[in-house]
Structure 1
């Protein structure tokens, strides 16, 4: 067919292997039914959450060689040796903040005349990101945080999320679970927080306004949610403006401290950058009234909004303890320590659902734009076009320059 557009789903080659994918078999099938000019191709993969046979059953052709495809869709960064010259790629490149570990990849992309469209840079007209896995990071992070408290106290037990086939199986696991009294403080109001709140609802944890949560005791599990406007106020006039906070976070002070004295679990889903005050300090951690036993740092910035985030944990080994007096790592679930859950790839524990959710957003808001000859949305997310940095990302020029001599 003369005007057929071929779209290929590439195998994830970055180590450790990611098991997510941009489109599920059913989504590929739907696209080909609704866009007769589009043909989907899938590179075989032993690691993907949807097996090769599931794509074949949906009528999608598996193909090792995707060099005939117009668009190649992945999730994580593509190793330099796997990049095909002259192609258009979509994946999370993690280059727009000049991340050192991806510099070589961007240099190779330019050298190979590749067009790179970064999922992270796809935004709605109001600037909100279109694509992300935050909801399932929140779901898994909330579960893992509660699981850690159960192990620490011996009061209840959850099975690991990654042993569930999908979200439905996790929900079934909650049937009949009765949690003991506990107080959970949730920070943030974006996709991560929405995922946390989903778990609160499934487990019947009752919401309380912050002012009630702070002063009362309860015979059942409760939580409160602190959005940015409740967490941060301008130092001079004690007000909050979203635009001003994002522009000048250094002018704001954090109001979280009262919550460390009344909460058992902190589930952190707040946006953070280095100009923003942390939620508490190392000195606060040492005080006798620091009651929090478990912190699920779902935002996961090492030494960031949570100063006792001492680095990432893993899906297999999700929790480590921190000795409060010295801020040093120890074994998890010990008395008198704070347990940290800092897994950076939480959605990989529910990869089928996370992929389905991601593909839905991609189909709703991006797919038609991708097929247009000129799309402002796609243009704004294009870091390189045919081997050159686009005007919007010209600031990456020095980062993308190759060093003249090897040291």
Structure 2
């Protein structure tokens, strides 16, 4: 019997999950065994999974799961260098030149396991079957606006936390913007035609922020792009890959600019293709921005688990997109899973 084991997320401030109780019930009906770990911070309570017929396991017990179980999580595993013998479904961040990725792949090599990277689950046309993109853009734009409001008071963005829902986020952010007494900032979104960019632009418009929408056509020249520096906020919603232009080079720090906040929603600071090379490390919930220039200020927001700001909406949206693929786990060598395994083995050739 195919067995999927939903692990608890071990990363701080991560409350999302990739399978809802309703989705788990569909897997069980198909004959797939579902185990869900207890979690002290998951946005969806464990009792809902129990009621759906899932087996319940102790939090963080996945290393001792049966070898044939497929371990399903979202964010990265603890970096303890232990071998990984299981098949894992997660965001591995290991296939685009990320420096930490090689260490993860070495663990799979040592244990003989396989990584089915969620970023590389694609259909026959190469399009991703599921993505958190919309909510990443939405939350990334929100935190970037929080950074801008803090600047208006001569401060730096304070820690952020999860919201029970979108309405609560919009109410809080609107109050922060109103309290500045300033006119709304102007923002530019690059990657505006994608899911990430759409979410970012939707949040800005909900806050009455004027948005300039750019995509591939506007960036085809390869730069430089002085128009970016003429906006208050730049939201990068294009994932780094070979050929991605540099949108804000280091030289821009000392140029005349209106720009004071960069929201790098794509957040690939340790990639060789980082299009915003004014910073080199992700930010966090406790320190949402990195100040890369003092006067005038320039703050970079680069939190790499932004959708967890709205964990219920983002979990249900993503799980709904992914469910059709999870229902084919009993044919793991075919379709989206076969393509993901091929991608993994290709990159393992360099390990």
Equivalence for 1:305: 275
Q: Tell me, which stretches of 5 or more residues in structure 1 are unaligned?
A: 206-220, 234-252, 324-329, 400-407
If you compute each CA radius of gyration, which structure gives the higher value, 1 or 2? 1
Separation in 1 of the partners of 2:309 and 2:237? 18
Equivalence for 2:213: 225
Aligned pairs (5 A) from 1:247-258: 253-254=222-223, 256-258=225-227
Aligned pairs (5 A) from 1:9-24: 9-13=6-10, 15-16=11-12, 18-24=14-20
Equivalence for 2:183: 180
Q: Which moved more, 1:222-231 or 1:263-272?
A: 263-272
Equivalence for 1:28: 24
Please state how far the C-alpha of 1:168 moved relative to its aligned partner.
4.1
1:309 and 1:342 in contact (8 A); partners too: no
Equivalence for 2:61: none
Q: Specify the SS of the correspondent of 1:266.
A: strand
Among candidates 185, 200, 225, match of residue 204 of structure 2:
200
Separation in 1 of the partners of 2:190 and 2:269? 17
1:133 and 1:354 in contact (8 A); partners too: yes
1:264 and 1:293 in contact (8 A); partners too: yes
Q: Tell me, which stretches of 5 or more residues in structure 2 are unaligned?
A: 59-63
| Alpha-carbon distance change, 114 to 336 in structure 1, aligned in 2, over 3 angstroms | closer
| Alpha-carbon distance change, 17 to 142 in structure 1, aligned in 2, over 3 angstroms | closer
Give the TM-score normalised by structure 2.
Answer: 0.81
Give the TM-score normalised by structure 1.
Answer: 0.71
| Alpha-carbon distance change, 130 to 282 in structure 1, aligned in 2, over 3 angstroms | same
What number of residue pairs does the alignment pair up? 336
| Alpha-carbon distance change, 227 to 66 in structure 1, aligned in 2, over 3 angstroms | same
Equivalence for 1:46: 40
Q: Specify the SS of the correspondent of 1:162.
A: coil
1:6 and 1:70 in contact (8 A); partners too: yes
Q: Specify the SS of the correspondent of 1:292.
A: coil
How much is the aligned-residue C-alpha RMSD, in angstroms? 3.3
Separation in 2 of the partners of 1:227 and 1:94? 24
Equivalence for 1:347: 307
Please state how far the C-alpha of 1:373 moved relative to its aligned partner.
6.3
